[in-house]
Structure 1
């Protein structure tokens, strides 16, 4: 093999090498998860906060990676050069929207706000199904993450699982379910609209395109309306209930996460 071929192979490896930034976040998740499980931490609420926050960031990275990886296999080879395959959150087109804002909304209100985005060169991709799959890949990652978090619940495998760790998993599952539901909404700017967009007429897509930057803001504004917020979380809790997670467990996880508010009195964690 010539020097050009070797150089290209080396470049491809670099483009797909997992970022030290992601590995660091994953390490925080693993260490704090162990601290929550063993009760080693002097402050269980702080341990839950660090565990859930780092796990949430890991899921955001995997969400964006799923978009990029699916795009790569659909024909957009540019995603590697952009750093999207390294799982580095700092490489995303909008790091503020992809990581910072979703984390802030979790801290403030316990809402799994969807992030965005990786820039996909859609003109490189042929076939409407491929375009739809690229958009669906991200929220499907949240669905898979929720399934993993709730597996001990729906498999009735909670014997020996510490209460604090159980509550942390329940709250993390709530974030993943809420993110998946919001992402699948057919609203311009969200992945749900990206799924159906390839099947719309050119005229409709052209008229809707200017609304895309405001779609997420509109959803956020609507969730401030108490009635809509109530309906939304009723749906989230219904999904969690179907997966074996009770409202109490998710609520206790949320209260532990917001350790600075000291609202854990009604949760049995002993």
Structure 2
């Protein structure tokens, strides 16, 4: 493969650049209160930023795989950050966005297809799986930086609430992804260290792991424990429950914004 071909495979997709531009413009609209409907601006800002994070999640898997020995990821378009190029566009992009709209949960995306037989070493396999959710962790740290740095002076309330809700999505996605459940990245981290017999026994359940997790989340007691863990992490990063609540209230603008949030400082 020529150097020119490799560069073309890693050229950032116009689709990703367009989504990033939407994030920047709508973020500016939320910050300046330029939009006629603050809720719509928050909705577009958080949704586009969430899609950006999903693209970066999948890119992290692919980039780590490339440096671990799978040179096929470039030809598949994974290094272009184009959400349309991923193996499971439905799982990677569409379903996560729908779950955010419906329930405010950061659904883990479907991993890109990695040719594992090209990769040597258990640590490399584990790192490839961990790279995606670690990107969500990094995204959460960036979103919460104004909070834990105590740098909120001058930050408009609506923008602060939007960041808080976006951070909730990143934290929930990271926690879900790191669960050691077949089909999720957390299982991919530990799988190289399991015996052959254990892996063979678990393999048939991998396609249903994500469905099993979300079925459990519909159980009120499990849901409460999960979001208590998410809220605990967010509080550690300087975000209180009211800020995430107001962020989600603004995001779901079609339900009508909470009056208390509208007048909160």
Q: TM-score range by the shorter chain?
A: over 0.9
SS for the counterpart of 1:81 is: coil
CA contact (8 A) 2:39 2:257 kept: no
Q: 1:210 & 1:243 partners in 2: Cα distance?
A: 38
CA distance in 1, matches of 2:20, 2:219: 35
Deviations along 1:32-80, whole A, 9 cap, x unmatched? 0000001101100000000000000000000000000000000000000
Pairs within 5 Å for 1:91-130: 91-130=85-124
Q: Deviations 1:169-213 (Å, cap 9, x if unpaired)?
A: 000000000000000000000000000000000110111111110
Q: Deviations over 1:220-251 (max 9, x none)?
A: 10000011001100000000000000000000
Query: 8 Å contact 1:164–1:269 — kept in the other structure?
Result: no
Is 2:64 the partner of 1:70? yes
Any unmatched runs of 5+ in structure 2?
A: none
- Which SS does the other structure have where 1:18 is aligned? coil
Equivalent of 2:16 in 11, 22, 27? 22
Q: What are the Cα deviations for residues 108-132 of structure 1, in whole angstroms up to 9, with x where unaligned? A: 0000010112000000000000000
CA drift at 1:263: 3.5
Give deviations 1:70-119, integer Å, cap 9, x for gaps. Answer: 00000000000000000000000000000000000000000001011200
Helix, strand or coil for the counterpart of 1:161?
coil
- What count of residue pairs does the alignment treat as equivalent? 264
Q: C-alpha distance in 1, partners of 2:238/2:111?
A: 32
Partner residue, 2:49: 55
Please show how residues 3-42 of structure 1 align to structure 2 within 5 Å: 8-42=2-36
Offset, 1:157: 0.2
Distance in 1 separating the partners of 2:264 and 2:46: 17
Q: Runs of at least 4 residues of structure 1 off by over 3 A?
A: none
Shift of 1:218: 0.3
Q: Does 1:170 align with 2:164?
A: yes
Task: Mark the runs of 5 or more structure 1 residues left unpaired by the alignment.
Answer: none
The answer to whether structure 1 residue 263 and structure 2 residue 257 are counterparts is: yes
* Aligned twin of 1:82: 76
Partners of 1:168 and 1:37 in 2: CA distance: 10
* Contact map agreement 1:22 1:88 (CA 8 A) in 2: yes
Taking only aligned residues, the RMSD between alpha carbons, in angstroms, comes to 0.8
Q: TM-score, normalised by structure 1?
A: 0.97
- Counterpart CA distance in 2 for 1:238 and 1:185 is 17
How many angstroms apart in 2 are the aligned matches of 1:117 and 1:141? 13
Cα drift, residue 269 of structure 1: 4.8
Structure 2: distance between partners of 1:251 and 1:48: 13
